[in-house]
Structure 1
């Protein structure tokens, strides 16, 4: 075991990350394909299990066969294990194992893990890893506890408790899987406890570990504030990244809610048939789930096409780095937006909160966003070849949902051809690994050796 881990640690960092995820996905598909994992009535093929395992580890939520109709209790426990591994990140789990075995982690490995968890310092790294596992489990347990107040009376003690645990883990890890059926959480569209607990878990999982550790560090000061000035002073003590993520996450949710209210509030079939409180709950839930969670309490096929198109933009952005969410990431897109604003105003430096951001980081953010747009276009183009009879806007929605590891679907995934489903599998895999793999690949290059300067050239643009 030690020899295997030692050999693994010597591989290039991006390859290490890719191999770790691919191995768990493949191993998970084999376990799910075993008769011990499936219901007697299951009609799933190995392709379905592989698709599901990739979606679970990529914490996406898309499926070709529903969990509730395919896997028994043991299989659903395997599903939770795959979601947990995918949510925390295989590289984190592997490093935690290495630390537990007493092996010294090299500086290069530690830097990789810092980037994976979006952590800038190297102090108490072992304790940080342990805290991540401990507090994520605690948050999931608290979420399951509150969900049980509704699930146990509805389904009984056994199924109710397990359903609460399943949904809590899936929500915190932004996975979007449920063990209830084929309609996600639509049966709970007007259930307050579900519409409060699930979104909170999604937000906590999606903002990133470093953000909530930074907030926790100043939690006592936030509790002690007695005026708006005290609050602003304490808020400014948070790290620049934390403030950026909180601000963007908040306004993205608010913006999504406003768009849904304006477009769907009176629309029969989506929100129009619900009570005013039910509409508000559904609006909040859908706005939050766009952060790459994949749950839905309404039928997305009933939404206006305008809403579906706007949803794809939010899904593309996704959650925040160093957490369980996918997508291009809020801070990454924010830097690109800041860069565009800087160029439009004719400025040289990209500034935020009276701080000048390193241009190297801004360029990496631009690379990630451009590659994500390109990969989405390639995936969409292939799907239009294999399923040209399906409207383009729904294929576009499905493609972005897969690349953003969101998991929302307009009831389309199971009906696609195997070719398009294969494209979605690769999309989920790339979408989950893309940003962190690209970022670490760019970060670990020896720039001094490769940097070459020539005579200045000029090319016309625009």
Structure 2
């Protein structure tokens, strides 16, 4: 064991991250497959347990067998542990425990953690890391308390409390799993508590840890503002990354709400039969869950085609870097949009809020988006071979949901062939870790190579 750990310490950083997640998935699938983890009526095979373990560690929410009818309390607790390990990362949690015990973490391991959390620097990293874990548990605890006001009267103290904890952890980690049945949170479409607490947990978990602490450091300044001009001045003091993430998160939620209302307002099978308040809160919930959360309060099999299309685009974008969300990431897509605008308007550099962005960062963002597009179409192509009778829009919805670690499905996952389900597992795994991490770990990219420069050439485009 000691020798294995020594070998692990010398592995490249991306490979460490990939192996840590793969290790948790493998152990988790074995634990879920144990008889003590399952209901007496469980019909799940090991493939189902492996699929669910991948989905939990990648904090996606897709499943081939419903949790409520497959796993008992012990199995569901194992599921929560897998979600926690997937949300924060095994390396992050282990390093935090080591730090709390007073042991030093090597510079190499700090770099690993920096990449696992997608953080730009290591200044005050030890305090940052410990604070992430502490505040994660605190926020999840607060969320569980508020949810219990609805769940305890509904299910009783024992089941209601556990359900509140389960949903709070799942929502904060953008996992999308519930222990209620096969219809996600559709039974709570009229619950004000559920439709407020769950989306808030999703947003807080998805905006990224760096954004948390930037906002926390400026909290006192914000509560003392007395005018809009004063607020704008305080807002500009936030880091550029924080402002970009907040601006795009608000924009995407608002845009998704508008599009969802326009498309589904009179659809009697989704929100058409609700009153005005019910429609608004259901619309808000669906708009937020596209930030890679995976919960739903309406049936996605009844959505109109336009809704399926625009939701697929929003799922592709996903949440923000350095948090629990997946997808191509808000800031990444924002940079690509800014790059397109710079090209259209003839600008040589990409700018955001009177700041010129580094060309290397913009190039990396473009690579990530292109890779996500390629992987999505590759997954879609394979799934269309395995399940050629399924309508293409639903297969595309499923593929994007998997790679973006969203977890939304038009009740399709369990009906797909084992071939398509295997494709979905790989998409979820790649989506959680990020394509660049995966391909770097496989040695497909070598950033140590010396740059090559040849004689200039010219190619016609457009």
Name the CA distance, whole Å, in 1 between partners of 2:197 and 2:186.
Answer: 15
Structure 1 segment 28-47 matched on structure 2, within 5 A: 28-47=28-47
Name the CA distance, whole Å, in 1 between partners of 2:102 and 2:330.
Answer: 36
In structure 1, the residue matched to 2:437 is 437
Name the CA distance, whole Å, in 2 between partners of 1:31 and 1:447.
Answer: 38
In structure 1, the residue matched to 2:224 is 224
Any gaps of 5 or more consecutive residues in structure 2?
A: none
1:241 Cα deviation (Å)? 0.4
In structure 2, the residue matched to 1:329 is 329
In structure 2, the residue matched to 1:20 is 20
In structure 1, the residue matched to 2:407 is 407
CA RMSD of aligned residues (A): 1.9
In structure 2, the residue matched to 1:60 is 60
In structure 2, the residue matched to 1:278 is 278
After superposition, the Cα gap between the structure-2 partners of 1:233 and 1:436, relative to the gap in structure 1 and judged at 3 Å, is farther
In structure 1, the residue matched to 2:171 is 171
Q: Count residues in correspondence.
A: 462
Name the CA distance, whole Å, in 2 between partners of 1:271 and 1:385.
Answer: 34
In structure 1, the residue matched to 2:387 is 387
Structure 1 contact 199–285 (Cα < 8 Å) conserved: yes
Structure 1 segment 362-377 matched on structure 2, within 5 A: 362-377=362-377
After superposition, the Cα gap between the structure-2 partners of 1:148 and 1:393, relative to the gap in structure 1 and judged at 3 Å, is same
1:328 Cα deviation (Å)? 0.5
SS in 2 for 1:178: coil
In structure 1, the residue matched to 2:310 is 310
Structure 1 segment 236-247 matched on structure 2, within 5 A: 236-247=236-247
Structure 2 contact 368–436 (Cα < 8 Å) conserved: no
Structure 1 segment 41-440 matched on structure 2, within 5 A: 41-100=41-100, 104-435=104-435, 437=437
SS in 1 for 2:320: coil
After superposition, the Cα gap between the structure-2 partners of 1:281 and 1:8, relative to the gap in structure 1 and judged at 3 Å, is same
1:179 Cα deviation (Å)? 0.2
Structure 2 contact 13–111 (Cα < 8 Å) conserved: no
Structure 1 contact 202–289 (Cα < 8 Å) conserved: yes
Structure 2 contact 221–234 (Cα < 8 Å) conserved: yes
- Larger deviation, residues 3-12 vs 147-156: 3-12
1:312-361 CA-partner distances (Å, limit 9, x unpaired):
00000000010000000000111111111111111111111111111111
Structure 2 contact 291–325 (Cα < 8 Å) conserved: yes
Structure 2 contact 68–180 (Cα < 8 Å) conserved: yes
In structure 2, the residue matched to 1:450 is 450
1:98 Cα deviation (Å)? 4.7
Name the CA distance, whole Å, in 2 between partners of 1:65 and 1:449.
Answer: 46
TM-score (norm 2): 0.96
Name the CA distance, whole Å, in 2 between partners of 1:162 and 1:447.
Answer: 47
SS in 1 for 2:69: coil
1:220-256 CA-partner distances (Å, limit 9, x unpaired):
1111111111111111111100000000000000000
1:408-459 CA-partner distances (Å, limit 9, x unpaired):
00000000011111111111011111256169779x9885752122222222
Name the CA distance, whole Å, in 1 between partners of 2:147 and 2:436.
Answer: 33
